[in-house]
Amino acid sequence: MNTAAFVPPCTPALRLVPDALDIEALSAHMTVQRRRIRAGKPVYRSGQPFRALFFVHAGFLRRSVAAADGRELVTGFPMRGELLGVESIGSAHYTADVIALEDCEVVELAYPAVLQACAALPVLQAALTQALAQELRRDQYWRLAVATLSANQRVAAFLQEVAASHRALGFSASHFVLRMSRSDIASFLALKHETVTRALSQLAAAGVITVERREIRIVCTERLAVCANGAELVQQAA
């Protein structure tokens, strides 16, 4: 029965096309506005009227959703090249919070206007639809990860993703500084922050990475990949 011969691809949903959005071309069809966001300040908050999307030009951010009873979940860490606010399209209000983890620069795209511009610019329409679909696939990737991986594996997978993102933006993929706290990572991975700490310590003890607070160095990419899928940690001869 199970004759799925080739790759069933639920992949990390890499963020392709960092600069897919041609702001120049766009500005001919609608007003676009640059905005600086200070570290810790929101780009938008859940409940505010939905009026615009934001294209991230620089900086790292954190997106989270919350239920009426206070339960919260960090749903992602947007960075350069991503479109903020797509999850709120079709809603009268934003359905998530996005706050800057460091000083950021975003380009504001008023919403109904974007849709109209789409009609004139088929490229834009494709880009928007793509961004939405891409986000959907990424969500499903992490749902799968959270549902099927152990705590250690999730943390390893997270580090892999961060590394891949950094590489895509031209930063070092093997040595970087996490912009988010342990609690943010924990929420994102559906763990407690102590568990994230434990997992990082164990990965370090196994010689796969080194950790110094938020500074991560990936010592062995291959073994990290092994940890992220399937295999549990095996101490390597010191």
Partner DNA sequence: AACGGCGGGTAACAGTGTGTAACGACGCGG
Partner DNA sequence: CCGCGTCGTTACACACTGTTACCCGCCGTT
Q: Where do contacts with DNA occur on this chain (CB under 7 A)?
A: 150-152, 181-183, 190-198, 200-201, 211, 213-214
Rounded CA separation 161/40 (Å)? 23
Give min distance, CB of 238 to DNA, in A.
16
Give min distance, CB of 210 to a second copy, in A.
27
Residues in region 45-74 near a second copy by CB under 8 A: 45-47, 65-69, 71-73
Rounded CA separation 117/209 (Å)? 46
| Member of 14, 27, 39, 139 binding a second copy (CB under 8 A) | 139
Q: For residues 73 and 129, is the Cβ–Cβ distance under 8 A?
A: no
182: alpha, beta or left, given left = phi > 0 and alpha = psi -120 to 50?
alpha
Start-to-end C-alpha separation, the chain: 46
Q: Which stretch binds a second copy (CB under 8 A): 21-29, 93-101, 200-208, 218-226?
A: 93-101
Q: Measured from the CB atom, is 71 or 213 closer to DNA?
A: 213
Output the DSSP codes for 113-132.
HHHHHHHH-HHHHHHHHHHH
Residue with tokens 């938020």: 214
Residues in region 111-130 near a second copy by CB under 8 A: 115, 118-119, 122, 125-126, 128-130
38 binds a second copy (CB under 8 A): no
95 binds a second copy (CB under 8 A): yes
Return the one option of a second copy, DNA, none that residue 165 interacts with (CB less than 5 to 8 A, by type): none
The tokens for 84 are: 């903020």
Q: Measured from the CB atom, is 28 or 126 closer to a second copy?
A: 126
Q: Measured from the CB atom, is 215 or 232 closer to a second copy?
A: 232
Give min distance, CB of 202 to DNA, in A.
8
Rounded CA separation 158/165 (Å)? 11
Return the one option of DNA, a second copy, none that residue 8 interacts with (CB less than 5 to 8 A, by type): a second copy
88 binds a second copy (CB under 8 A): yes
CB count within 10 Å of CB 214 equals 12
Return the one option of DNA, a second copy, none that residue 187 interacts with (CB less than 5 to 8 A, by type): a second copy
Cα dihedral 170/33/83/20 (nearest 10): -60
H or E element, residue 57? strand 52-58
Q: Measured from the CB atom, is 22 or 230 closer to a second copy?
A: 230
